[in-house]
Amino acid sequence: MAGHTEIHAKVSEILSAAGFEVHPFLIGWYNENVQTPFELPYDPDTLAFIIFSTPAMFDKAFKPFICRQSCDQQRDPIDECMIHHFNMVREAFPSEEIETLHDFEMTATRRPKVLVQTAGHVAGAAYYYQRKDVEPDEWDSKKKIYGVSIHPKYGGWFALRGVIIFQKVHQPDLPHREPEDCVKSREDRIKLLEGFNYNWQDWTYRDIVPAQDKYSEEQMKYFATMPKDRKEVVEEIKAKHCGDGKE
Ligand code: B12
């Protein structure tokens, strides 16, 4: 059976050309952090990957994807596009048992199947800043403050799309690295968490660290549009980018 480096290389080869980043982790690292209802039912040394979309995903994966799709899709086109790319990985490993869990997948009791921010943190890929990272605590104890992950290269200009689990691949020797703590001061952490919780629509929390690449105007327009109204934006993008329909 292939080792983690071969598997990692192959998954990266498939996804990085489409504007994704791929980071390996072990299920045990994830399960050690989350509460029991969120644990994933695999051995601690099971190999998994967290998948991030970078700003380039929109041009490299999403536009080509919608150009190939008819417009009568039920799901959000971004979700469809993610399912398509995760399936490409699945198809590249016909003899492996693979489970894919997307960020938007919920259990029957409406609990997220995977907490992608925790996965990104334990993979050493993007620090997950939570209320408990601000000491002493800043907010009223009754207030709910949601946490946010920050990527060392893209700041908040990325998304955590899901995990791919190689159910039968055990990799106890996978090197464990810590995520880069790029928002070090208490003051900046407060600014980040308040931006994410109270002013996320103005995008500014994403700039808490300088970003190498950000979303284009077009990508921002797409994500700022309510999912129910995105059809129109998709049609605009298609008219502009899809050529004469021969694709
Ligand atoms: C439900 C949800 C929401 C809900 C509730 C938010 C919440 N965090 O609970 C609502 C609708 C409010 C929401 C809003 C937004 N969301 Co939202 N949301 C989610 C979703 C689907 C699940 C989050 C969830 O329910 N978590 C459950 C709670 C219990 O988890 P938790 O607080 O992390 O607790 C765990 C950790 O603390 C862990 N833990 C404990 N100790 C330790 C220690 C360490 C070191 C670690 C690592 C972990 C750890 O254990 C706990 C569980 O037992 C995630 C995607 C996903 N599947 O993860 C996106 C997600 C969090 N949302 C995201 C975004 C961007 C947004 C919005 C900006 C809207 C948007 N553009 O999509 C807003 C911003 C928030 C706001 N101001 O409203 C992004 C965040 C990206 C990032 N950089 O972090 C995510 C990751 C989606 C994505 N695809 O990237 N969201």
**Measuring CA to CA, which residue among 107, 94, 106, 92 is closest to residue 22?**
92
Name the 3-class secondary structure at 73: coil
Rounded to 10°, the helix 4-16/77-92 angle is: 140
Q: Which of 32, 86, 146 to mutate to test the pocket of ligand 1 (most atoms within 8 A of CB)?
A: 146
Which atom of ligand 1 is nearest the CA belonging to 118? 47
Q: What is the pLDDT of residue 116?
A: 98
The structural domains of the chain, with segments of one domain joined by +, span: 4-241
CA of 13 to the centre of ligand 1 (A): 28
Average pLDDT, whole number, for the chain? 95
Q: What is the DSSP letter of 176?
A: P
Q: What is the pLDDT of residues 203-231, one digit of tens each?
A: 999 999 999 999 999 999 999 999 889 99
Distance 221 CA to ligand 1 centre (A): 22
Q: How far is the CA of 55 from the centre of ligand 1 (A)?
A: 19
Round to whole Å and give the CA distance between 181 and 124: 10
Which pLDDT belongs to residue 247? 46
Mean pLDDT throughout 104-109? 96
* Contact 77 CB / ligand 1 (< 6 Å): no
Six-digit token string for 195: 């931006």
CB contact at 8 A, 205 and 147: no
Give the count of alpha carbons within 13 A of 174, CB side only. 29
Give yes or no for residue 225 CB within 6 A of ligand 1: no
Quick: pLDDT tens for 2-37.
688 999 999 999 999 999 999 999 999 999 999 999
Average pLDDT over residues 67-78: 81
